[in-house]
């Protein structure tokens, strides 16, 4: 009984104080939309829910709630993690392919949001255009969650920060070096890491570097948090002192036609044993998956002792649980 009371108190502390209640009803579009305290609360709740899950303890705060999931891009981790998260929290998730919705026949994203808001308690969308997500959120009267756009992938980054925190016991001061194409994942890591006081180093060739607007925003936030965001084109120099080396595919969905050119341009940015020898001895390696083995990362690294890729993938589930719980005011 005493243990149950302790669990209940911890749950109430994380879900009922002003920080948590301020998150209720909010959209989850970009990590920069949240304060450092709010992001830390999401991570704290994710850790608690993961601990309970491992111990066989379950809560059902979303009983009777429904999440609509719109997919204009295919998915493994995003779909499964959100669907399982809703089920384990007592709710229900609806998979909605864009090809099966009236979006295919020209209904606007705003009208889709207005209609779905009358049926469901939240909407998650995984799509190409970030503007579509912004417009969907503006028209919807329920929380909208960005499951991925070509510009940002905040749900992935939140799970990544949870994984780093598990490994090092902190985020502030940890050096995360991202190597490769500074894409939507890199952008979310830079913006979120800056908020959380991390040292983020981005290493990409010319033509693949982070856009100046996002870089300026990240650096502004880093100055306030005590972190930093740096750009270093040479990957061997970029990983010096790194606690985490992170990479992603060189050709994302929609870029398949440019695959050969991208492989050629990014060949020097492969995460392999030789590159990791330049990093700290305790360095760990992350990849948001799916991986193109032999291109951006070698089998030896992703399957090796420094890889925490599978922990990272698992943590998508627990990060999504925290997002859903707090946004739905459970």
Catalytic residues: 126, 153, 156, 248, 288, 316
Residue 253, annotated ligand binder?
A: yes
How big is the chain by its Cα radius of gyration, in Å?
19
- Nearest CA among 81, 34, 109, 26 for reference residue 314: 81
The residues, ordered by sequence, that sit 6+ positions from 202 with a Cβ below 8 Å of its Cβ are 177, 178, 182, 186, 190, 209, 210, 229, 230, 231, 232, 238
Residue 18, annotated ligand binder?
A: no
Pairwise CA distance, residues 83 & 93, whole Å? 5
Residue 154, annotated ligand binder?
A: yes
Residue 112, annotated ligand binder?
A: no
Residue 228, annotated ligand binder?
A: no
Residue 281, annotated ligand binder?
A: no
Residue 289, annotated ligand binder?
A: yes
Helix (H) or strand (E) holding 147: strand 144-148
Pairwise CA distance, residues 300 & 297, whole Å? 8
Residue 149, annotated ligand binder?
A: no
DSSP assignment string, 177-197:
EEES---HHHHHHHHHHHHTT
Q: Helix (H, G, I), strand (E, B), or coil: what is residue 230? A: strand
Residue 155, annotated ligand binder?
A: yes
Residue 30, annotated ligand binder?
A: no
Residue 172, annotated ligand binder?
A: no
Contact 177, 201 (CB under 8 A): yes
The residues, ordered by sequence, that sit 6+ positions from 207 with a Cβ below 8 Å of its Cβ are 265
Residue 35, annotated ligand binder?
A: no
Binding-site positions for carbamoyl phosphate: 75-78, 102, 126, 153-156, 288-289, 316
Binding-site positions: 75-78, 102, 126, 153-156, 184, 248, 252-253, 288-289, 316
Binding-site positions for L-ornithine: 184, 248, 252-253
């Amino acid at each position: 009984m005493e243990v149950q009371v302790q669990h209940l108190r911890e749950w109430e502390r994380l879900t009922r104080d002003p920080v948590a209640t301020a998150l209720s009803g909010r959209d989850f579009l970009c990590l920069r939309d949240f304060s450092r305290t709010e992001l830390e609360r999401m991570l704290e709740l994710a850790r608690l829910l993961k601990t309970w899950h491992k111990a066989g303890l379950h809560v059902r705060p979303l009983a009777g709630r429904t999440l609509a999931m719109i997919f204009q891009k295919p998915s493994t981790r995003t779909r499964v993690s959100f669907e399982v998260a809703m089920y384990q929290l007592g709710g229900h998730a609806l998979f909605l392919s864009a090809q099966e919705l009236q979006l295919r026949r020209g209904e606007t994203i705003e009208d889709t949001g207005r209609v779905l808001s009358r049926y469901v308690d939240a909407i998650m969308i995984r799509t190409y255009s970030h503007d579509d997500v912004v417009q969907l959120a503006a028209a919807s009267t329920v929380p909208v969650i960005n499951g991925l756009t070509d510009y940002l992938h905040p749900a992935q980054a939140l799970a990544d920060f949870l994984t780093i925190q598990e490994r090092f016991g902190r985020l502030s001061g940890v050096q995360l070096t991202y190597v490769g194409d500074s894409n939507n994942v890199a952008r979310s890591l830079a913006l979120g890491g800056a908020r959380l006081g991390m040292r983020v180093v981005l290493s990409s060739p010319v033509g693949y570097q982070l856009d100046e607007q996002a870089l300026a925003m990240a650096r502004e936030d880093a100055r306030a948090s005590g972190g930093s965001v740096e750009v270093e084109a040479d990957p061997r120099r970029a990983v010096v002192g790194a606690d985490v080396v992170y990479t992603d595919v060189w050709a994302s969905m929609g870029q398949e036609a440019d695959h050969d050119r991208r492989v050629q341009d990014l060949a020097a940015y492969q995460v392999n044993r030789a590159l990791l020898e330049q990093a700290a001895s305790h360095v760990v390696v992350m990849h948001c998956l799916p991986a193109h083995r032999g291109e951006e990362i070698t089998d030896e690294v992703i399957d090796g002792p420094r890889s925490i890729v599978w922990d990272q993938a698992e943590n998508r589930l627990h990060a999504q649980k925290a997002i859903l719980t707090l946004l739905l005011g459970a």
